[in-house]
Chains A and B, each alone.
Chain A
Amino acid sequence: MYNYYLTIVLAPLAAAIIAGLAGKKIGRAGAHWVTIAGVGTACLLSMLVLKNFFWGGAPAENISVYTWAVTDGLRMEVGFLVDRLTVLMMCVVTFVSLMVHIYTIGYMREDPGYQRFFSYISLFTFAMLMLVMSNNFLQLFFGWEAVGLVSYLLIGFWFKKETAIFANLKAFLVNRVGDFGFLLGIAGVVMFTGSLDYATVFGQAKSIAGQSIEVFQGTPWNAMTVICILLFIGAMGKSAQAPLHVWLPDSMEGPTPISALIHAATMVTAGIFMVARMSPLFELSTTALGFVIVIGSITAFFMGLLGIIQNDIKRVVAYSTLSQLGYMTVALGASAYSAAIFHLMTHAFFKALLFLAAGSVIIAMHHEQDIRKMGGIKKYMPITYWTSLVGSLALIGFPGSSGFFSKDLLIEAVRDSHWQGQGAVYWIAYLSVLLGVFITALYAFRMFFLVFHGEERMDAETKLHLHEPSAVVTAPLILLAIPSAIIGWFTVGPVLFGDYFGGAIFVSENKDIVSHMAHAWHGSFALLTHSVRTPVFWLAASGVIAAWFLYLKRPDIPEIIKIKLSGIYNVLDRKYYFDDLWIKGFAGGGRAIGQLLWQRGDQMTIDDTLVNGTARTVVRLAGFVRQIQTGYLYTYAFAMIIGLTALLGWLIWLR
């Protein structure tokens, strides 16, 4: 299997290098063929590996590839840990990536940076695979930062656009804030275990939990809590959890295919994956889990609300992504790691689908992204319409769709989790995910109706050219719509309740809500019939109806609400002022500090006063000394003799 793993990782990398360095030579077609071949190979082999695990019962493999460095007893290696969690991620990443590669042929057809784009997305696939397949913290951090790098390059792909290069800098820096915590967390792990290797660290998890660390003198904190919260800060950056979420909506400045691949399906789920991977650590700190669940709840609920007032088609989907990432985080905090990963998987399919469908609309609309200027597109773009419908239904958890299984069970897990009866944390989490269902349905179908139904608000010129894009665009839509629709039905039993993850995810017995739920599991069909009686279903349904009523039937009402509730609207419009906090507060504050230290510290105090001041004093002294310089040789000779005697005397005396 070792050769498989190596090929899976290296094929996209090799393709990226070829397309990047020899882009001119191999031409446009060459670039997309070589990268599609690379990612296709990775995808195919990943599925073979999955088959081995799923049906072949293959055991987890932990392989070292090469030793990065050894110093002071700390082994730093590059290696693979492939188990059931990893292989699931590998398949999701390579499959979505393959779809996006194909789609890009159509979407970027006229772009002068065609080869560069393919090189980047293949490089991304490599980095993401390194991240998920790692068997140690060092490589995890490498993959973690490498996906951040590619995300930076891709958000700023159209580097002439001021908004794009602002967004990519912002994305990178906010992610770096997360990585700051992440790196400290890793340092903490090394401090207590002396190792970067997952297996060794997890083996010593209990001993970490028994120790404490004094961040502030005299107040010992549980070491595991400190480490887990620091690691989770990293996840907050990558998986865009409040308050580090601010970069994700802006990242929509990048081309749509990467919004689908990086900012919906894969990279942003790295944080979720990481916490699930670290479950042996997080399980040992209830405080850290509480932190996780609260952050997740805030993100799930409040970011969903913002989705309702967005008018840019991609931004609606972006806020939806934030909210769904919040859902996954809540599941992590509820110790329902497998539910989080399951939702991650279904979400990857339907969210990539929604983004690519949005991209399809954007191409057809000649890069118009404002949904107020769309409407009635259904009859022009039937494939996009139907696939979008599948995606939207999966997003709101329509019974039977993939999102239904993952979200319904996620909410159930939160309801029955170990937080039950723990007061505020429980209610914050449960109410957020529950009410979030209504909000999700509302924003999802608001967009859906405004784009595809109702009156046609685009100008005549656009309308004339409105048609379905080519097959390279629609084929990925269809290929993603299929799993979005049905994958939940088939996989929920084995993956969530069939002990699929086995040893890959660790849950303490008293928190193991998912296996508890497994006892009450009677198959997909039973859940389907049961669902009609749950509040989840009715909340989703009322969300859709509300969207229909407000945006198709009586579009005047939202306007009235907007005016009546202008206070709330403004808060939402300004995104709870988080952008102001980051840009004016932190970025502006940082610049002000820099200016102050530079001008007052370096220039005034050190240079003017101390350095040049000393120089001036010397000049003044020299003026005085000049008086002593008589110009007579004997004075100089005398001074020299005195000096020499003193020096010699000192030397002798020293002996």
Chain B
Amino acid sequence: MDFSQHLLSILIWLPIIGGAALIAIGDGSDSSSSRAGLMRIVALTTSIVTFLFSIGLYVGFDNAFTDMQFIEKTPWVDSLNVFYSLGVDGISLPLILLTTFITPLVVISSWDTIKSRPAQYFAAFLILEGLMVGVFSALDALLFYVFWESMLIPMFLIIGIWGGARRVYATLKFFLYTFLGSVLMLVAFIYLYGQTGSFDLFDFMGVPLTLGAQKYIFIAFLLAFAVKVPMWPVHTWLPDAHVEAPTGGSVILAAIMLKMGGYGFVRLSLPIVPDGSEYFSGMMIALSLIAIVYIGFVALMQKDMKKLIAYSSIAHMGFVTLGLFILWSFDGGMGAGLGITGGLIQMISHGLISGAMFLCVGVLYDRMHSREISDYGGVANTMPMYAAFMVLFAMANAGLPGTSGFVGEFMVIIASFKANFWYAFLAAGTLILGAAYTLWMVKRVIYGEVANDNVAALKDLNSREFIVLAILAVSVLLVGLWPAPLVDMMSVTVEQLIEQVGHSKL
């Protein structure tokens, strides 16, 4: 069997099958048995093998190729003309790699911190991984929708079962928000199906649509994607969900699931309804800037570390939507490509950094069972190695050049200056706000005298935690010091996207 023809399917179904196997074997009566150990090995092996397959995807990917690659297309529901159709381009490939890269790290980080029903816990993550890869590679709208919605279930369970005290409120809020948003997306898909007679995304992109229809479709998509990003003002589910989610859940949520929104805008909104997107671009820019500035201020005042990082995520994701929707502010010349590339890189970078930040909080939470900033102080005294990582990731979060956090923000700010001075002015405010909320937290948690006996008793990172954070640290620095491979992966696709969006569908 030739793997390379079915690489995407492997990446989707391998973790799902692994997850199903874990559930089938089950947890058994006690969680500390050798059986639980076996579960972890199975989970880790599955996620690592998946990652190795995804390297094959990276190696086989041709940066210069303009069309979709690794295409798979099989009829699924003949009567409705639905296909099981997959493929990747320069926009989805980095996100798939991010997914397969982060999942094993999450498995390692949850190694022995999950006491209750570990098999189901790991199964949820593996299944989630497969579904997320599915979202990023689906080329058929109905298939996309199926992956998109089923993705909610494992996350719902992760927060609902292994979450904190207010997990019921948080899961409900999470579920309702994201579900309500995506139902309208389905309606838009059905409408487009009515227009084209197929669910093929490329047919959707090719079909002419009136401005009125485009506006409605844009709004329908917007609700689905804005909730995921999340954009102001539909963002309030995120801090709650993060706070209640177990560490691994927060990592996946921040690192990958939020990217679904940005991905949706690039994959669906911009090419399918270019005129509708242009019509609403002013509003989108405004919402993005509000996210960056307003949420930056809100993050400043958070008392809970996870909430702070959650708000910081919203602010950082503002750069993604800003980068995408300044597209129409340039009459030719440089700018549009910078903005989109910047936005896409910001997604990858934020995946690495926010993942790392949530893992860092998780390390403390595992030891002290508190996320309150005020419960800490002087952690550097007892956990010097941890402190070094925390400061590094905090700096990356503050967008320091040399870390991945800088790359996307830099490109978006450069582009938005050309679009409008005030866009850049407000966006660059993140330089101050981002540093303020992140480093103020670092000051209160990491620096200072040992605050209390609990902090005095803290043990520094164990080798498992060290490995996970070190891998993330290296990748944050690598992307920051040499983003060229990532940028090159995207550039042809981005050019083509701009070209495509430039053609009115009216």
- Residues on A lying within 8 angstroms of B by beta carbon are 66-74, 138, 141-142, 145-146, 149, 152-153, 156, 159-160, 162, 165-166, 169, 172-173, 176-177, 179-180, 183-184, 186-188, 190-191, 194, 213-215, 590-591, 593-595, 597-598, 601-602, 606-607, 610-611, 651, 654-655
The A-contacting residues of B in range 418-449, CB under 8 angstroms, are 418, 421-422, 424-425, 428-429, 431-433, 435-436, 439-440, 443, 446-449
The smallest beta-carbon distance between A645 and chain B, in angstroms, is 16
CA distance A576 to B46 in the complex (A): 64
Q: Is the CB of B301 within 8 A of A165?
A: no
Cβ A72 vs Cβ B341 within 8 A: yes
In the complex, A611 Cα to B300 Cα: how many Å?
23
Verify A67–B484 contact, CB threshold 8 A.
Answer: yes
Q: Let me know if A597 and B298 touch, CB within 8 A.
A: yes
Interface residues of B in 233-292 (CB under 8 A from A): 233, 236
**Do B435 and A172 touch across chains, with their CB atoms under 8 A apart?**
yes
> How far, in angstroms, from A654 to B432 measured CA to CA in the complex?
51
Within B435-486, the residues touching A (CB, 8 Å) are 435-436, 439-440, 443, 446-449, 481-484, 486
B297 at the interface (CB under 8 A from A): yes
Which candidate, B2-10, B53-61, B129-137, B399-407, is the interface stretch facing chain A? B399-407
Instruction: Decide yes or no whether B294 CB sits under 8 A from chain A.
Output: yes
- B: which residues have CB within 8 A of A? 173, 190-191, 194-195, 233, 236, 294, 297-302, 333-338, 341, 378, 380-381, 391, 395, 400-402, 407, 410-411, 413-414, 416-418, 421-422, 424-425, 428-429, 431-433, 435-436, 439-440, 443, 446-449, 481-484, 486-488, 491, 494
A187 to B378, CA, bound (A): 39
Give Cα A134–Cα B433 distance, bound, in whole angstroms: 28
Looking at the complex, which one of B191, B378, B411, B448 makes contact with A71 (CB distance below 8 Å)? B411
B305 to chain A, nearest CB (A): 15
B448 touches A651 (CB 8 A): no
Q: Do the beta carbons of B482 and A176 come within 8 Å of each other?
A: no
Not counting A69-B407, A142-B402, A188-B417, a sample of 6 additional A-B residue pairs whose C-beta atoms are within 8 angstroms of each other reads: A70-B487, A146-B401, A184-B413, A187-B413, A187-B417, A590-B436
Q: Are A72 and B432 in contact (CB under 8 A)?
A: no
Distance A654 CA – B191 CA, assembled complex (angstroms): 7
Looking at the assembled complex, report how far the CB atom of B164 sits from the nearest CB atom of chain A, in whole angstroms.
18
Please, how many angstroms separate the alpha-carbon atoms of A180 and B292 in the complex? 14
Residue of A whose beta carbon sits closest to that of B195: A654
Chain B's closest residue to A130 (CB) is B402
CB neighbours of B418 from chain A (8 A): 187, 190-191
Chain B residues near A162 (CB-CB < 8 A): 448-449
Contacts of A166 in B (CB 8 A): 443
Q: Name the one of B391, B424, B425, B432 contacting A177, with C-beta atoms under 8 angstroms.
A: B432
Q: Is the CB of B482 within 8 A of A66?
A: yes
> Could you say which residues of chain B place their CB within 8 Å of the CB of A186?
414
> How far in angstroms is the closest Cβ of chain A from B416?
8
Which residues of the other chain, B, contact A68 by a CB distance below 8 angstroms?
481-484
| B482 adjacent to A159 (CB under 8 Å) | no
Closest to A174 in B: B432
20 A-B pairs (CB sep. < 8 Å): A70-B487, A71-B338, A71-B494, A72-B336, A138-B410, A146-B402, A149-B400, A152-B439, A172-B439, A173-B435, A173-B439, A176-B432, A186-B414, A190-B334, A590-B300, A597-B298, A606-B236, A610-B233, A611-B173, A654-B195
Contacting pair B417 A141 (CB below 8 A): no
Question: Across the interface, do B236 and A594 meet the contact criterion of CB distance under 8 Å?
Answer: no
B residues less than 8 Å from A214 (CB atoms): 421
Give chain A nearest CB distance to B423 CB in angstroms: 10
User: Please, which residues of chain B bring their CB within 8 A of the CB of A173?
Assistant: 432, 435-436, 439
Residue of B nearest to A183 (CB): B428
- Write out the residue numbers on chain B whose beta carbons fall within 8 Å of the beta carbon of A594: 297-301
CB distance from A265 to the nearest CB of B (A): 23
A654 near B300 with CB under 8 A, answer: no
**Chain A nearest CB: distance from B344 CB in Å?**
10
Given contacts A149-B395, A180-B431, A184-B428, contact A593 B297 (CB under 8 A): yes
Pick from B301, B336, B400, B411: contact of A595, CB under 8 Å: B301
- Contacts A141-B401, A191-B418, A655-B194; A165 near B447 (Cβ below 8 A): yes
Q: Nearest chain A CB to B250's CB is how many angstroms away? A: 19
Question: In the complex, what distance in Å separates the CA atom of A142 from the CA atom of B410?
Answer: 11
Residues of B within 8 Å of A156, CB to CB, are 447
Are the CB atoms of A601 and B378 closer together than 8 Å? Answer: no
Question: Which of chain B's residues has its CB closest to A192's CB?
Answer: B418
Let me know if A213 and B338 touch, CB within 8 A: no
Whether A598 lies near B301 (C-beta < 8 A) is yes
Contact A169 B443 (CB under 8 A): yes
Which 8 A-B pairs have CB atoms at the shortest separation, nearest pair first? A72-B337, A187-B417, A654-B194, A594-B300, A594-B301, A594-B297, A142-B401, A165-B447
CB-based nearest B residue for A66:
B482
Are the CB atoms of B448 and A165 closer together than 8 Å? Answer: yes
Assembled-state Cα–Cα distance A610/B235 (Å): 12
Interface pair A159/B380, CB less than 8 Å apart: yes
Minimal Cβ-Cβ distance residue in B for A145: B401
A146 / chain B contacts, CB cutoff of 8 Å = 400-402
A138–B402 CA distance with the chains assembled, in angstroms: 11
User: Which residues of chain A are near B173, meaning CB under 8 Å?
Assistant: 611
The reply to whether A74 and B334 contact each other, CB–CB distance below 8 Å, is yes
Within 8 Å by CB of A72, from B194, B338, B486, lies B338
Distance (whole angstroms) from the CB of A647 to the closest CB of chain B: 9
| Residues of B close to A590: CB separation below 8 A | 297, 300, 433, 436
Most buried by A among B341, B402, B447, B488: B447
Inter-subunit contact A70/B484 (CB<8 Å): yes
| B298: chain A residues within 8 A (beta carbon) | 594, 597-598, 601-602
Chain A hits for B302, CB < 8 A: 598
Q: Are B338 and A179 in contact (CB under 8 A)?
A: no
